[in-house]
Structure 1
Amino acid sequence: MSTETKSHLTTAVVTNQAALLEGWLSTLASLQTRRDKGSEAEIRQQASLFLNLLPKALASGDLDINKPAWDEIKQLLSEISKSRASQGISPIDTALFIFSLKEPLFSYLQTSISNDPLALVHETTAASILFDKLGLYTVEAYQKTRESIIQRQQQELLELSTPVVQLWENILALPLIGTLDSARTQVVMESLLQKIVETGALIAIIDITGVPTVDTLVAQHLLKAIAAARLMGADCIISGIRPQIAQTIVHLGVNLEDVITKATLADAFNIALKRTGATLSSK
């Protein structure tokens, strides 16, 4: 960036900060698709802080936002993007926070160097590229935050979809609903093992009544869960073996010979009671 460009941009920000701030907020309000009165004060504070940090970065004479001089501004934009992603604000409105500063800034440049068209073109182009980079940076930070939120929500849903309940003393039940994949199997094993440790259970019933299909991969996942439970000192019983699933297992040649299987959860519970020496009595 030339010394003149640095000087004009810095002057625009330093000597016209109040006017730039109001023009920026006005342009932003006219462009954004979501209006939230409760956040106007926060947006004003963020914009003011950005304008306070900008001269220091421009003083470095380098428009490369990957240089250390731009670290504070990038940190601010990352925090703004994370906050807006968490609030469900769109990436477009997030990027407009930066892009909407162009209009009032360019108006100042046109006024201050209108007598030099070549310089005006050069400086507005350089400034436009700078704010494009900063705007794209906000989008990138926004996307990373959204991906993190989605991953966390998926993990929470997996945990909620694999509850381990204690049916009786020394007897646990793990009802599975939906398709088993590698990620969910990992959550299943962790939940089951943790519950075994907490309760000291001797029997774990894995009920697959709600599992739509059983293929080789699903069967392997079940065997992994059973093996892990055995290492913790608990035997497993698989319940919910429907005729079509039984045929599929036989057809696939999956070895379940050393695993007790039952058609219903009630049958599996009766077996578990017998193996633990517990009895049910009716009054």
Structure 2
Amino acid sequence: MSEETYDWVRLLQENRDDVLARWTEIVRGSLAGRMSATESSHDLREVLDALLAGQGSTDVRSPSYDGLRSLLAELSRTRARQGFTPTETAVSVFALKEAVLGLLQASGDLRGYRAFADLSGLVDELGLFMVETYSATRETVIAEQAESLLELSTPVVKLWDGIVALPLVGTLDSARTQVVMEALLQALVDTGSEHAIIDITGVAAVDTQVAQHLLKTVQAARLLGAECIISGIRPQIAQTVVALGIEFGDIQTKANLSDAMLLALRRSGLDVVKSGRGRG
């Protein structure tokens, strides 16, 4: 171990409590009270101990810092899932420099300033490691949320024995089409239904791509022996479909869900008779 490297390690060891107190105060101030003093102090104490356990190595990827990297990775993932910003996450490491610098300014230790330069570079690398881990975790969280939203936005409803409905809202892209198709096919298998109504009343616009996605879903349902009816064809959508030359072939379309329901009932061999009750 070189003398310069030893200096910053000794600097932290000899002033451990003072550095930890300053560090905790800075971090808590930047987080605007979102963490308690006890929680902050505990986390930072573990980071400081893991940093000192590295025995002065300046390579953050070295085996001597395995424990520190694991600790910072878990801290970053926790902060990301708790909704902290990247800055609020990385400050847990970067604030160590400010804490040590404040200590040196108070003591006027020139040798300590030389040691601080070595420590500063190491802390910067550790901070970048935290940001990288944070970003990866946020991407995972966003992907999980997006997947959950896709599943929530494609409910399949059983309307009658042998009849299910799939109301669609929003846009229909390739990723969502896959979720829609899987949800509908699974519902057809689970319920043994032979008729499915795909209601697009809530779909903002129908273009060639959306039409192709709908056709693929209908074709997949037919492979399971089920017939589909597309409902929710509003006047403006009908005009767009004609203008684009989109062909639905032999797929039945209806203006609204109730008309599609009547057709599905008739295809099932049921007659809908208007009740005469309530007349004088």
Q: Does the pair score TM above 0.5? A: yes
The separation in 1 between residues aligned to 2:213 and 2:236, in whole angstroms, is 19
1:217: how far off? 0.4
1:43 aligns with 2:35: no
1:90 aligns with 2:85: yes
The separation in 1 between residues aligned to 2:12 and 2:84, in whole angstroms, is 27
Matching residue of 2:265: 273
Query: Structure 2 counterpart of 1:138, which letter?
Result: M
Matching residue of 2:32: 34
1:46: how far off? 1.1
The separation in 1 between residues aligned to 2:82 and 2:181, in whole angstroms, is 33
Q: 1:230 to 1:68 in 2, by over 3 A?
A: farther
Matches within 5 A, 1:177-188: 177-188=169-180
Structure 2 unmatched runs, 5+ = none
1:209: how far off? 1.3
Alignment partner of 2:215 out of 211, 218, 223? 223
1:202 aligns with 2:201: no
Offset from partner CA, 1:116-157 (integer Å, 9 cap, x none):
5xxx55432221111111112212222222222222222222
Aligned length: 275
Matching residue of 2:139: 147
Query: Structure 2 counterpart of 1:250, which letter?
Result: V
User: Which shows bigger deviation, 131-140 or 21-30?
Assistant: 21-30
The answer to whether the Cα contact below 8 Å between 1:13 and 1:54 also exists between their aligned partners in 2 is no
Query: Structure 1 counterpart of 2:10, which letter?
Result: T
The separation in 1 between residues aligned to 2:106 and 2:233, in whole angstroms, is 79
Offset from partner CA, 1:16-43 (integer Å, 9 cap, x none):
322222121122233x042135x33222
Matching residue of 2:22: 23
Offset from partner CA, 1:224-275 (integer Å, 9 cap, x none):
1111212222111101112332232233232311211111111111111111
Matching residue of 1:14: 13
The separation in 2 between residues aligned to 1:141 and 1:115, in whole angstroms, is 35
The separation in 1 between residues aligned to 2:261 and 2:6, in whole angstroms, is 80
User: Which shows bigger deviation, 132-141 or 219-228?
Assistant: 132-141
1:215: how far off? 0.5
1:74 aligns with 2:69: yes
TM-score normalised over the length of structure 1: 0.88
The answer to whether the Cα contact below 8 Å between 2:20 and 2:44 also exists between their aligned partners in 1 is yes
The separation in 2 between residues aligned to 1:66 and 1:239, in whole angstroms, is 59
